């Protein structure tokens, strides 16, 4: 098994930190630039519950979308790509990989052979 380590500096401001984290993981997530911006805005607003009625309005306004209906299309895509999910009571929550830890110092990717 081979290990690859890379040092990446993330921005210090909240939104920049979240966005850099998501961009770093985007090889796995396969998000478009707009999907990253939508997810960043939701995470900055509330890092536990995603896409509440209140947060949808705030995120749509922040991203200058015509209305919340446009944002709903992105929410569906984020759900389809596994970034968010509905819990047992129907509340959208984040997949743990997309919610960056507060005190992240590094990320380690491990590449291994299929035979390992």
Each residue of 15-43: pLDDT tens digit?
888 998 999 899 889 999 999 999 999 99
Give the rounded percent of residues in the chain with a pLDDT score beyond 90: 61
Give me the domains of the chain, ranges plus CATH numbers.
2-111 (1.10.10.10)
pLDDT surpassing 70 at residue 1: no
**Three-state secondary-structure class, residue 101:** coil
Each residue of 64-108: pLDDT tens digit?
999 999 999 999 999 999 999 999 999 999 999 998 887 776 666
Other C-beta atoms lying within 10 Å of the C-beta of residue 15: 14
């Amino acid at each position: 098994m081979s290990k690859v380590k890379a040092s990446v500096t993330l921005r210090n401001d909240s939104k920049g930190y979240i966005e850099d984290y998501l961009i770093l993981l985007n090889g796995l997530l396969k998000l478009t630039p707009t999907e990253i911006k939508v997810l960043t805005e939701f995470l900055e607003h509330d890092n536990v519950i995603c896409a509440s009625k209140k947060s949808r309005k705030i995120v749509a306004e922040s991203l200058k979308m015509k209305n919340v209906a446009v944002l709903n299309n992105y929410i569906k895509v984020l759900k389809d790509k596994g970034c968010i999910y509905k819990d047992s009571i129907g509340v959208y929550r984040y997949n743990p990989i997309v919610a960056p830890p507060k005190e992240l110092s590094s990320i380690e990717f491990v590449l291994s052979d299929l035979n390992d």
